[in-house]
Amino acid sequence: IFLINKYVISEMLKTGGGSIVNTSSMYGLVGTNMSFAYSASKGAINQITRSLALSYARDNIRVNAIAPGYVDTPILAMVPDGRLGKDTEIADLICFLLSDEASFITGAIVPIDGGYTAA
């Protein structure tokens, strides 16, 4: 994530701006007893996202992240809305965040997890 952002931002500075969407996880927002290293790495993505958003906002570069929950996995009972996410729902959120319709959104970590992180 760090290297991708570094090189993409370098090119965006040359072209007048742009939008980046990093992929984190719901476990970057809440802990899990399954893997502390995974949660820590996703938390790091969230902080990189926020820091870059602040650093490059005046350069017309927006940096956000999505925090997907369970998608196409058999762990349905853990999702508050009772269903799994679809890959198209994740893609739709990314497309929105990259679009001009999201021009006032930067530094956001957007959970797309069926309510998991709200519980």
Rounded Cα distance between 40 and 62, Å, is 23
Closest of 112, 42, 104, 107 to residue 83, by C-alpha = 112
Q: For residue range 53-112, list pLDDT tens digits in order.
A: 999 999 999 999 999 998 876 666 667 888 888 989 999 999 999 999 999 999 999 999
Between the CA of residue 112 and those of 54, 87, 91, 116, what are the distances in Å? 23, 11, 11, 9
Q: Which residues are catalytic?
A: 38
Give the predicted TM-score (pTM) of the model: 0.91
Q: For residue range 3-24, list pLDDT tens digits in order.
A: 999 999 999 999 999 999 999 9
Instruction: Write the DSSP symbol of residue 27.
Output: G
